[in-house]
Structure 1
Amino acid sequence: MIFFSPTHGKMTLEQVTDDIKKYVAESADYQYKLIIGSDSQSRQSTCFVTAIILHRVGKGARYYYTRKYERKITSLRQRIFFEASLSLTMAAKIVECLLSEEQDNLKIEIHLDVGTHGETKKLVKEVIRMVIGSGFDAKIKPYSCGASKVADRHTK
């Protein structure tokens, strides 16, 4: 799996997790949030983008993203659940790669591209339960910038 970083260019998952460890070690006294969010755009095929954002609370952030193309998915419900699944899978991989000391300083959030207004409002409870049942915090719009801003930017 190839990731892209505005700072470092192309990276592997191992390079991403090493960069996360270094970034946290640089200023270990700060609080950090590890945010994972996915978004999609359907055209001839569906482009899914999963973003990993490391937020040094009050001091900025850095992010990495990966793209995946699938056959065109027209069902909004199916796309939203696939986005959530991609984010959860990525979160599990990241947790597996990080040592326990880094995890203690990182609060992990899954940002979902759903909200209480619009077409996705019927899916909010189900998708949140899916994330919480997997052991992660869930954020929805307008608090889900990982999905609705960062990942969305790279689906275009």
Structure 2
Amino acid sequence: MSDTFAFYNVTEENMTLQDVISRLKSFIRKDPRSVYVLSIGTDSHVHYKETKFITAIHLHRVGKGAWGCLKNYILPRPITSVHEKISTETALSQELAYSFITLYLGELTDILIPFSDEGADFSFEIHLDIGRKGVTKDLIQEMTGRITAMGVEARIKPDSYTAFSYANRYTK
């Protein structure tokens, strides 16, 4: 995930992670009295000769819109194991989340601290493309355990919209 210019959305391309952080800060500064949920999630799609992964960053200003961006990762082979596919999705989300935890979450929450008595709030989550139905149900404990071990809230379907909805839209 170390590509210098890797993030994009419907209005911008070739954003660095630092560009993304600037966009997130700007979005928060426009309404610092709101509740924010920052989530990271990855989805994938197996193609004939490769597996395409999309990792999404989604900042939800609860009840008032959102800002998001995406990052592609192509594995030059098809993945046939559900465990390997979900484990790789989880690892890509963890890698990006680690950058936020160690470098950027403090910068984002510092914007909101002066407004905490006026309703400002912030939470950070990793959204996993797994759920209690289907073949991924057996992976819930392992994958959520990896996330919670980082000190981050893990969300699964139907609450993991960043992975199964936003990122999924761009994997095909």
Q: Judge same fold: TM > 0.5, yes or no.
A: yes
Identity %: 38
**Superposed counterparts of 1:34-49, under 5 Å:** 34-43=38-47, 44-49=49-54
Range with bigger deviation, 103-112 or 69-78:
103-112
Matched, 1:3 2:7: yes
Q: Matches of 2:32 and 2:163 in 1, distance apart?
A: 26
Matched, 1:94 2:110: no
Range with bigger deviation, 76-85 or 3-12:
3-12
Larger strand percent? 1
Q: Matches of 2:107 and 2:171 in 1, distance apart?
A: 33
Shift in Å, 1:88: 0.9
Q: Deviations over 1:124-144 (max 9, x none)?
A: 111111100011100000111
The residue number in structure 2 matching 1:66 is: 71
What is the root-mean-square deviation of aligned Cα atoms in Å? 1.4
Q: Which runs of 5+ in 1 are unaligned?
A: none
Shift in Å, 1:99: 5.7
1:32 equivalent among 33, 36, 42:
36
Shift in Å, 1:101: 4.7
- Amino acid in the other structure paired with 1:122: D
Matched, 1:146 2:162: yes
1:10 aligned counterpart, secondary structure: coil
| Higher alpha-carbon Rg | 2
C-alpha spacing 1:97/1:6, structure 2 compared with 1 (3 Å): farther
2:159 aligned counterpart, secondary structure: coil
Matched, 1:82 2:92: no
Q: Matches of 2:152 and 2:105 in 1, distance apart?
A: 17
- Amino acid in the other structure paired with 1:45: E
Range with bigger deviation, 104-113 or 137-146:
104-113
The residue number in structure 1 matching 2:142 is: 126
The residue number in structure 2 matching 1:52 is: 57
How many residues end up aligned between the 2 structures? Answer: 156
2:14 aligned counterpart, secondary structure: strand
Q: Deviations over 1:79-115 (max 9, x none)?
A: 1011011101111112334262523653111000000
- Amino acid in the other structure paired with 1:83: E
Q: Matches of 1:114 and 1:151 in 2, distance apart?
A: 13
The residue number in structure 1 matching 2:115 is: none
TM-score by length of 1: 0.94
1:126 aligned counterpart, secondary structure: helix
Matched, 1:16 2:20: yes
- Amino acid in the other structure paired with 1:11: M
